[in-house]
Structure 1
């Protein structure tokens, strides 16, 4: 059976491991699959393909692959949480630095608020000139204003996230944990 796609067979049982086969975690995924299907960590993709081409997965192999899939999903969730925690710590330390500088009444303390104010004012000025009062602008000025609006749009989002925070990361973490808990119940 030369056309047999063993990765699709694995994907039917353990979709997360099958997805990992196509990315930077392919080597680790092959080792896990080889261990669960063949009982050997040193087996190659060709060994797995040959073993699966000769027949279907046994019940014990399916159970082992599903357990490995759940472990893999838990580890990926832990990595995502660690990444989100690092991002939150970075934001928290930047905010804390602003607070500490303000307590010292340092002239540097005005840096973040002043830059933030300039970005917000520039953003709304660009909106005003481009959309509300689109007066006759020379073509070069119109192009420059468009470029400025694009750059300030990105910066405006960053300013809002700095001062107001972002719940997108925590929402993704919660969704991931909930999905893993649901899979564990199955």
Structure 2
């Protein structure tokens, strides 16, 4: 079960743990889950994945996961740690970094980002044309390498486009800010 996403499973049962597992509090979340599921606060993520990937998630395990979420919540309150504030701070740092990159671009008028976008677009278009008009090699390994290269180029192109027009993450942050202002106005 190499594709098993145990963190998503835990997040579906206990969203507080899912949030913690995806951020800087992963150690605390793993410790609480280890204590609840394996009676071992020093359990590793691999041990938790093995315990949850058996395919038989029983009521005892579900209750244990919810108990771990409660224990983590209590522990965070005792330490006066707000998971949402920590995640928001990480998000703000990411957005500031993006804004700094764009501000640098405006200040220096460096053509490098446009050149990168152009090269990536030409590579993407050329590879797409080769797929459409050409014939892929018969060798599965070579074919897999070509498809992987195309996916890498496409990912780079998507990132380059997001640099110029923004990203869905930035749009989400803007939407969240607007919702927050609207909620405060209603109070």
Q: TM-score, normalised by structure 1?
A: 0.49
Indicate the structure (1 or 2) with the bigger Cα radius of gyration: 1
